[in-house]
Amino acid sequence: MTATLVFLALLMAVFVSWLLRQSINVQPWVAQSETARQVSHLPEGFTAARVGLAVFVAVATSLFALTISAYMMRMHMGNDWRHLHAPQLLWVNTVMLLFGSIALQWAWGGAKRGDPSALRFGLATGGACSIAFIVGQYFVWRQLNAAGYYVAANPANAFFFMMTALHALHLLGGLVAWARTVRRVWRGWAPAQVRGSVELCALYWHYLFIVWVVLFGLVLMH
């Protein structure tokens, strides 16, 4: 549970320090007449959509941290853990996901600059790379099955299959948001109008890339 507790401690520390600033030297019982004078308490960039994504990322991180905690705990239980031999294809997939992430960043830049061709190129490449990643993961599963690493044969295999499936499901969820954005661009929305959605996609992809690197590192670690 160490991984999860570290994550939660960090999260709580951020939350508590933020709340401290909101509550120290404040006298809630004092009424105040000039409500309109008050300035925004959250920095400019905090939109509802971004905060929503941040909250979702926190939930997903909790899910992956708990999975990793369970992985570490199960490794030392039962004396039956045999490490999985990671197929070389995983490296290719990792690069694919990295390209997807970079491409969406490119698309975000295009949306910011009002450059429709960069936006389209970035979105198309990002989606293609992500689909390639998921297809690649499927081939990794087939390779593992062919090599005798069945899901039920060893807890290391079972964890690998479960973690990759969870990660791919999160990516598929992201692709739904990506598809909506692509449809809007297709229908001729201006870059400024889709900027918000492209931005959320790019940030979410960066997050999923980091999660993938951690999970992959965990599998490589002996």
Partner 1 sequence: MAALGHDAVSYAPPAEVEDVELVHPKTFVGKYIWSQDAKIIAIQYGITATAIGLVGLALSLLMRLQLGFPNTFSLIDPSSYLQFVSIHGMIMVIYLLTALFLGGFGNYLIPLMCGARDMAFPYVNMLSYWVYLFAVLLLVASFFVEGGPTGAGWTLYPPQAISPGTPGIDGGIVLMLVSLAFFIVGFTMGGLNYVVTVLQLRTRGMTLMRLPLTVWGIFMATVLALLAFPALFVSALMMLLDRLLGTSFFLPEMLTMGEQSSHRGGNPLLFQHLFWFFGHPEVYIVALPAFGIVSDLLATHARRHIFGYRMMVWAIVAIGALSFVVWAHHMYVSGMNPYFGFLFATTTLIIAVPTAIKVYNWVLTLWHGNIRLTVPMLFAIGFIFTFVNGGLSGLFLGNVTVDVPLSDTYFVVGHFHMVMAVAPILVVFGAIYHWYPKITGRMLNELSGKIHFWVTFLGTYAIYYPMHYLGFQGVPRRYFAYGETAFISDSVQTVNTAITIAAIIVALSQMLFLFNLIWSYFRGRDAGPNPWKATTLEWQTPHTPPRHGNFGAELPAVYRWAYDYSVPGAKQDFIPQNVPPEQVEALLPHADKARA
Q: What six digits make up the tokens of 122?
A: 């970035």
Which residue in 47, 114, 190, 210 binds partner 1 (CB under 8 A)? 47
Say if residues 64 and 162 touch (Cβ distance below 8 Å): no
What's the closest the beta carbon of residue 37 comes to partner 1, in angstroms? 7
Contact call for residues 101 and 205 (beta carbons, < 8 A): yes
Query: Rule CB under 8 A: which of 65-104 touch partner 1?
Result: 66-67, 70, 73-74, 77-80
From residue 202, give the alpha-carbon distance in Å to each of 48, 62, 80, 109, 182.
Answer: 17, 21, 40, 10, 13
- List the interface residues with partner 1, window 155-174 (CB under 8 A): 155, 158, 162, 166
| Residue 132, CA distances (Å) to 7, 12, 115, 214 in order | 31, 37, 26, 20
Considering only residues 16 through 45, tell me which ones interact with partner 1, judged by CB under 8 A.
Answer: 16, 19, 21-23, 25-42
> Would you count residue 124 as binding partner 1 (CB under 8 A)?
no
Read off the DSSP letter of residue 67.
H
Binding site for partner 1 (CB under 8 A): 1, 4-5, 8, 11-12, 15-16, 19, 21-23, 25-42, 46-48, 51-52, 55-56, 58-59, 62-63, 66-67, 70, 73-74, 77-80, 151-152, 155, 158, 162, 166
